[in-house]
Each structure stands twice: as structure tokens, then as C-alpha cells.
Amino acid sequence: MLGSMTAAAPGLAAEIAAAGHDIATHGWDHRYLTARGPRDTFRDLARARDAIAAATGRVPAYFRPPYGVLNGGALFAARRLGLRPLLWTCWGREWVPGATTDTVAGTLRKNLSGGATVLLHDSDSTAPPGTSRRALGALPWLLDECARRGLAVGPAAEHGLR
């Protein structure tokens, strides 16, 4: 969850938490952390963590850095705030120009494996219009493919990532 989006829609964040989803922060906004100093990175993550905790009643367990880019300042801030970095092993690339539901499924197929953390965007707030629609359109294929391969689908905590 982005802290800024959580602050704008705290009820939705609370619904997501109440549905049993893992809660993670993506920072306050969607900016490269390498463009920030250590103090600014810490303030950004702390502000997001606090907004998410206030809205959901749960302190985020994970930190997924924007663009998957980590640096020393981000790792230090995450550790101080009790956030475990979580990256992905499989992505749909639904934000790429020309992407379709079929290309998203095809891209996922290439790296889908047991223990995978799949990256799909559920919002167009920081991505091109239609990104979330393409990700959502690929979900039935993804769930069917996981079932076909005998892969369990669930939150990161259920995959040994506590």
C-alpha cells in the first residue's frame, strides 16, 4: 500500500486488511529511493507505515520498494521500522506499452514457480491507464495455471516469508 493512497482511502485499506491480506508498504509515494537520502527515506517509510497502521489496525510486515530498487538507506530504514523487504520473482509487465491480458499471462508463465511472489498492479494510480485491468484480466489464467501445476496461492506469510 502506498501511504498517500491509504490516507486518501483508509476504509478501503481497512477492508483489505480485514479480508486477511498481508499488509505491506510501498512507501508514501511511488518514487525511486535512490533519489533520496537516508533521512528522507526513513521519514517516507515511517510516514507510510504509520498511515497504514492507523487505517488497518496492523503495522505492515513488509516493504516492497518502488520499482524493486533498494539501497543501503532503504534497507537501514526498513530494518529500523521493523519492515521486511519483499521483492518479486514473477511479474506480468502489465504496464508495458502494448500489453494485453494475453501478454501478461505469457510473461507470468515464463517465471511462475513454487514459492513465487507475483507482481501485478491493482491500481492505475502510478501506472498507465488500463494497467490494473490487464492485471485483473490475467488473474483467472494465473489461478488456473497455479492449480494445474499444484501450486498453492496465498499470502507471503503462508510461504515461509515471516
Residue 80: inside a domain, yes or no? yes
pTM of the model: 0.86
Residue 61: inside a domain, yes or no? yes
DSSP-derived letter for residue 65 is: -
Residue range(s) defining the domain that contains residue 44: 3-85
Residues 118 and 99 in one domain: yes
Count how many domains the chain has. 2
Residues 80 and 100 in one domain: no
Helix (H, G, I), strand (E, B) or coil at 77: helix
Residue 70: inside a domain, yes or no? yes
Q: Which of 85, 106, 130 is the last residue of a domain?
A: 85
CATH number for 72: 3.20.20.370
- Give the pairing type, strands 84-85 and 62-63: parallel
Residues 146 and 120 in one domain: yes
Residue 129: HSE in the Cβ half-sphere, 13 Å Cα cutoff: 0
Residue 129: inside a domain, yes or no? yes
- Give the list of residues 6+ apart from residue 10 with CB closer than 8 angstroms, or none: 54, 55
User: For residue range 107-154, what is the model confidence (pLDDT) as tens digits?
Assistant: 999 989 888 889 888 888 888 888 889 999 999 999 999 999 999 888
Closest CA to 107 of 121, 93, 118: 93
User: For residue range 32-45, what is the model confidence (pLDDT) as tens digits?
Assistant: 888 888 999 999 99
pLDDT interval class at 54 (50, 70, 90):
very high
Tell me how far apart the alpha carbons of residues 118 and 145 are, in angstroms, rounded to a whole number. 13
Residues 22 and 66 in one domain: yes
